[in-house]
Amino acid sequence: MSVPGPLSAGAADVLTLGETMVALRGSGPLKLGGSLDVSVAGAESNVAIGLSRLGHTVRWAGAVGDDEAGELVLRTLRAEGVDVASATRDAHAPTGLILFEPRLPEVTRVHYYRAGSAGSRLAPDAVEAAFAGAATPRVLHLTGITPALGPSAAESCRLALHLAREHGTQVCLDVNFRSRLWSAQEAAAELRTWIPYVDVLIASDDELPLCLPPEGTPAGVSPERYLLDAGVREVVVKLGAQGATAHTAEGTLHAPAREVRAVDAVGAGDAFVAGHLSGLLDGTDLPTRLARAVTTGAFAVASPGDWEGAPTRAELPLLEATGGTVLR
């Protein structure tokens, strides 16, 4: 059953698909009880919200349960300007759940309750609908999380890659490896087959091997060079507090991280992706889009929550303000 969204059925700047869950955030060890803050979370929808706040049109093709948790997910995305016309409700599976447990000032444990969820049963026909008619997106954004959820979700991703190729849609892959969902061997076996379709690859440095051949790269060939030679146009490596480095056929560019007081690192990678894709959609050069990416990532680090701190375009210059500034 399709869910009507707030935008027209025309082409979106970006199409993304994956699972968005209800998120419960505790203030300490879960076993001690206490209160929980309720929100939603999902890597792909975090990127979608980040892009929407930056002024881009985004369509989210995911599945939620036919339940109140699913209504929260859809209501939140609609409120953030994300088109959910291609989302579906699954009457036979629940909306997934994620618990965040702050355990130390800089250590948060995450507990998933998503096995057999509606998101894990995302069907390929939802992807077909998202590409149908005049709905061809300019960019398809995928992560390595969705294919780990189940066979149907993985098949949906593969179909999306093929449809993107047919329609001339650029593909962005954020590797986003989750060891609690699948092993490194399983992830590599799947993601290696995606590389011929990928235009922009975003990964942390320890995730790059998941995209390489089992035997590794030839002697003297870096992972980044191998991927560029394989057809990837940009390889962007996230380095956390050290910033990020982008590799293209023209050369390598590094951008240091923006200095902010860290509050919550969860969602920073998704905010980074949103910033980089925003620059790509705007047609900016590589230094500009990499600078925007580290800026949006810094906003996420400086704010609690997965997506709540994502900046609008008008807010991007705020990081230039000196500490203690009051804007009146």
Q: Which residues are catalytic?
A: 270
Hey, what amino acid is at 124?
P
Give the pair of three-digit tokens for residue 161: 């890659």
Question: In degrees, to the nearest 5, what angle opens at C-alpha 63 toward C-alphas 19 and 150?
Answer: 60
Q: Give the separation between CA 3 and CA 66, rounded to whole angstroms.
A: 11
241-245 contacts, C-beta under 8 A, 24 or more apart: 243/294, 244/272, 244/290, 244/293, 244/294
DSSP helix/strand/coil, 69: helix
Of the CA atoms within 13 Å of residue 239, those in its CB half-sphere come to 15
